[in-house]
Amino acid sequence: MEAGMSRITKLIMAVINITMVIYMFQMMQSVLGQVSETIGGGDGGGAPPPEEGYLLYDDFNDNSIDSSKWDGVTKTGDYTADSGVYEQNQQLEVKSGMSGTTQTRVWIASQDRFSFASGKLQIEVDLTVPSSDDQGSCVLLSNTGQNSFDDSIYIYIRNGSSSPLTQISKKVGGSQQNLYEQSAFHGNGTYKIVIDSTNISLYYEGTLINTVAHGLSWTDGYLYLMATGKDTSTLTHVFDNLRVKKV
Ligand SMILES: [Ca+2]
């Protein structure tokens, strides 16, 4: 009797064990399926937010400037030895300082041109602007080329204690024309630029700063991320999470 009970108990235990093994196997299959779906559906790295829907997207997280997205580093003026563009610390760091008397400009330009001929071109970027009255961070769209901006529009942000500046400008044949100028620094954070065939709108953290008519005859250009000014210290301008799309 006791031996019989033991056999039944062993049989029940075996059935329970087999059921548990099958259940665990199914659970593992389900988990593996979800993992595979996540990796397969991403951009290869599975990093959110997804790049889908953007004309240009860069989170600057791989610590190497992506040559499929960006032309090389360009420096003009009397720049300091450590001026340059570096993708490091999961962000793009544009370092600029003036060693002589000629204003320094340091930038990278996009490989592609972006058009606002139809619809609206939207450029979003997270900016950290160093404290300076003599140097600012710049987002520029140049119709002229990757290394010349005689015909361009640009947003210039300066985080100065005595001369802060938020500016929308254009260059026509090399001469600058201010479209909007405000003696204020709104802050470090997300700036959004929306360009259509008539207007340029600038937003900070989702709030409109201003909309101006640009009066441009051209409708596409290369995108630049730039630091420019006359500060003799080498300052670091941080650009991150660049998102360009048509809206
Ligand atoms: Ca980043």
Which tens digits make up the pLDDT trace of 177-200?
A: 999 999 999 999 999 999 999 999
19: three-class secondary structure by DSSP:
helix
Centroid of ligand 1 to alpha carbon of 217 (angstroms): 35
pLDDT, position 110: 98
Ion ligand 1: residues, Cβ under 5 Å: 59-61, 90-91, 240
Per-residue burial over 127-165, b = 16 or more CB atoms within 10 Å of its CB, e = otherwise: bbbbebbebbbbbbbbbbebeebebbbbbbbbbbeeebb
Q: What is the mean pLDDT of residues 43-70?
A: 83
115 and 236, same structural domain? yes
Judge whether 60 lies within some domain.
yes
Centroid of ligand 1 to alpha carbon of 91 (angstroms): 4
Centroid of ligand 1 to alpha carbon of 194 (angstroms): 22
Centroid of ligand 1 to alpha carbon of 19 (angstroms): 47
Residue (of 93, 127, 104) closest to 231 by Cα position? 104
Which residue range(s) make up the domain with 22? 1-41
Centroid of ligand 1 to alpha carbon of 48 (angstroms): 11
Q: Helix %, strand %, coil % for the chain, to 5?
A: 15, 50, 35
Strand-pairing partners, residue 108, are 73, 225
Report the chain's terminal Cα–Cα distance, integer Å.
Answer: 80
Centroid of ligand 1 to alpha carbon of 126 (angstroms): 9
Judge whether 32 lies within some domain.
yes
Judge whether 119 lies within some domain.
yes
Centroid of ligand 1 to alpha carbon of 88 (angstroms): 9
Centroid of ligand 1 to alpha carbon of 239 (angstroms): 8
Q: What is the mean pLDDT of residues 152-172?
A: 98
Q: What is the pLDDT of residues 111-142, one digit of tens each?
A: 999 999 999 999 999 999 999 999 999 999 99
Centroid of ligand 1 to alpha carbon of 241 (angstroms): 6
226 and 132, same structural domain? yes
Give dist(CA 129, CA 158) in Å, integer: 7
85 and 28, same structural domain? no
Per-residue burial over 209-232, b = 16 or more CB atoms within 10 Å of its CB, e = otherwise: beebebebebbebbbbbbbbbbbe
Centroid of ligand 1 to alpha carbon of 34 (angstroms): 26
130 and 24, same structural domain? no
CATH number at residue 168: 2.60.120.560
Residue (of 171, 160, 167) closest to 181 by Cα position? 167
Tokens of 207: 């709030």
84 and 2, same structural domain? no
Please give the torsion angle defined by the CA atoms of residues 63, 65, 67 and 68, in that order, rounded to the nearest 10 degrees: 70
140 and 30, same structural domain? no
Number of domains forming the structure of the chain? 2
Give dist(CA 28, CA 170) in Å, integer: 59
Judge whether 142 lies within some domain.
yes
- pTM for the model stands at 0.80
Span of 46-55, 165-174, 175-184, 207-216 with lowest mean pLDDT: 46-55
Tokens of 170: 């254009």
